Amino acid sequence: MYRRYRDVFNQPIASRPGALVTLLDRVSDDYNYTFRITGTTTEAINMGSYNYLGFAEDEAERVKAVEEVIEKFGINIPSTRHELGFHMKFTAS
């Protein structure tokens, strides 16, 4: 039973994690011990992802807003100066 569940939750993704994802289709000849990718894909609804703000999508308007804020204020990591250094302004090249 575990191998069947593992197949459901460990699907290989071939796209950015947006509202829809592209899954690589695969088959198993040995009851889900090993898999063979068929070369075809399937579109699926993304029901769980770390991309809840949509930053992985490059078409979103919020990406441009984030780029503007980074250009203006830079990037900072909340840590001690001893551990990770000091604040450096990020410049896009």
Q: pLDDT (tens digit, 9 = 90+) per residue, 62-74?
A: 778 878 888 888 8
Domain count of the fold of the chain: 2
Q: In which domain, by residue range, is 44 found?
A: 1-51
Looking at the structure, tell me whether residues 6 and 36 fall in a common domain.
Answer: yes
Cβ count within 10 A of residue 29: 9
Of 81, 14, 62, 64, nearest in space to 42 by CA: 14
pLDDT at 30: 92
Q: Are residues 65 and 39 in the same domain?
A: no
Residues 64, 47 share a domain: no
3-state helix, strand, coil in the chain (%, to 5): 25, 25, 50
- pLDDT value at 47 more than 70: yes
Q: Do residue 33 and residue 68 come from a single domain? A: no
Query: Residues in the chain, how many?
Result: 93
Residue 10 has pLDDT above 60, yes or no: yes
Q: Within this chain, do residues 5 and 46 fall inside the same structural domain, yes or no?
A: yes
**37 and 3 co-located in one domain:** yes
By the 8 A CB rule, do 62 and 54 touch?
A: yes
**3-state DSSP assignment of residue 5:** helix
pTM equals 0.54
